[in-house]
Amino acid sequence: MTQRTIPSYELYGELLSGASTDPIHHELIRDRSSQHDWTIRLHRHRAMAQVFLFRTANVAYRLGDVTHRTSEPHILFVPPGFVHGFRFDEDVDGDVLSIRTGDLPPGPSEALLPAAMQVPCVLARSDSENFADIEATFQQLARIYRRMNVERRTLLETLTQLILTYIAGDVRRHATIGTLPTSERLSRHEQQAEDFCALVEQDFREELSVGDYARTLGVSPPHLTRVCRKVLGESPNGLIRQRRLLEAKRLLEYTRLSISEIALRSGFRNPPFFSRTFRQCVGLSPKSYRSSKEA
C-alpha cells in the first residue's frame, strides 16, 4: 500500500463525525477488530495518539515499514501521523486508548517522554517494570470511561497522564524507540490538508470563507477543495461545519449556556440556522441532544 492510498482517520474525519466529544476514547480491541474480520488496515491519525495494551501474544502489526508479531503481552504507543495496521487472532485480549492531541493539559509525562511522543514505542512485558501498574490503570480508566458524572473528564485525564508517565519510565530504560522513516513524511497535499486543519482549529469561530483560508495557505479555493476531498474525504466547508458542530456538542454537554449563546460560540452567527444545521447533521435538535446526554 503506497502512502497516497493510506487513509487518514483523525479529528477531521473519524472523531469529528462520530458521537464522542471526549478528548480521550477507550475501547476493547476486539470491539472494533471483530467488525473488520480481525484486520485493521493501514491507516494513520493526524491528530490522535494511541496506546495499545495487548494482554495476549501473537498480535501481528505494522508500524511504518516495520512488521512484527508479538510473542508475549505488549504495550504499543503510536504517535499522531504514523502509519499502523494490525492482524488479530479471534481470542485477542486488549485495550486501546486514543488521545486527541492538544486537548490534554501538560503533565509529568510530557517532560519525561519528549522524544518518544514523536515516534512509536514498543514495550514487551518482560522489559517493563510498570506493566502491571499500566494494566491496572487501564482497568480503572475503562470503568471511569463508562460513567457520566462531573468528575469523569478530570479522572480520565489524570489516569491517561498516569499511563503515559508509567510508559515514560519504562521507555527511559528498555523500550524500542523507532525513528520516523522518510517514507512516512507528509506529501505536499497532505501537508496542505494538515495546515488547513490547523487553521480551522484556530479560526472556526470566525466568519471566514474557503477563499479566506485558501489565501492564508497560498493556494486557490478550487485547489484547497481538491486537496481536502482527496486527503480528508470532505469539502473545506464540510470540515468547517463539522468542527463547529463538535464545539456545539461539547458546549451542550458540559455547560448550561443557552442555545443562542452556544450557536455564537461555535461560529454560527444565526441561531435558527444553527438549530436547523444541527438537526440535519446530528439527527436531534440542540435541546434534545443536551437532554439525551443528561439522561
Based on the fold, state whether residues 140 and 223 are members of the same structural domain: no
Terminal alpha carbon distance of the chain: 45
Based on the fold, state whether residues 247 and 273 are members of the same structural domain: yes
The reported pLDDT for the residue numbered 107 is 57
The reported pLDDT for the residue numbered 3 is 40
Q: For position 215, which CATH number holds? A: 1.10.10.60
Out of 177, 205, 231, a domain closes at 177
Out of 177, 200, 216, a domain closes at 177
Instruction: List the pLDDT tens digit at each of the 295 positions of the chain.
Output: 334 444 554 433 343 334 355 678 898 998 878 877 888 877 777 778 899 999 999 999 988 777 888 899 999 998 877 888 898 999 999 999 998 876 655 555 554 444 445 678 888 898 889 999 999 999 999 999 988 777 888 899 899 989 988 988 887 776 554 444 444 555 788 778 878 887 888 899 999 999 999 999 999 999 999 998 887 778 999 989 988 998 898 889 878 899 999 999 999 999 999 999 999 999 999 999 999 877 6
Among candidates 96, 77, 158, 168, which has minimal Cα distance to 130?
168
Based on the fold, state whether residues 242 and 161 are members of the same structural domain: no
Cβ–Cβ < 8 Å for 294, 256: no
Based on the fold, state whether residues 23 and 143 are members of the same structural domain: yes
Based on the fold, state whether residues 55 and 110 are members of the same structural domain: yes
Q: Which amino acid is at 31?
A: D
The reported pLDDT for the residue numbered 264 is 96
Asked if the structure places residue 183 within a domain, the reply is: no
Based on the fold, state whether residues 63 and 132 are members of the same structural domain: yes
Based on the fold, state whether residues 143 and 8 are members of the same structural domain: yes
Based on the fold, state whether residues 233 and 129 are members of the same structural domain: no
Based on the fold, state whether residues 18 and 133 are members of the same structural domain: yes
DSSP-based three-state secondary structure for 204? coil
Among candidates 180, 59, 159, which has minimal Cα distance to 116?
180
Q: For position 156, which CATH number holds? A: 2.60.120.280
Asked if the structure places residue 33 within a domain, the reply is: yes
Q: What is the DSSP string of 14-29?
A: IITTSS---SEEEEEH
The reported pLDDT for the residue numbered 41 is 79
The reported pLDDT for the residue numbered 212 is 97
Based on the fold, state whether residues 236 and 198 are members of the same structural domain: yes
Number of domains in the chain: 2
Based on the fold, state whether residues 192 and 271 are members of the same structural domain: yes
In which domain, by residue range, is 211 found? Answer: 188-294
Based on the fold, state whether residues 85 and 211 are members of the same structural domain: no
Asked if the structure places residue 182 within a domain, the reply is: no
Out of 123, 149, 177, a domain closes at 177
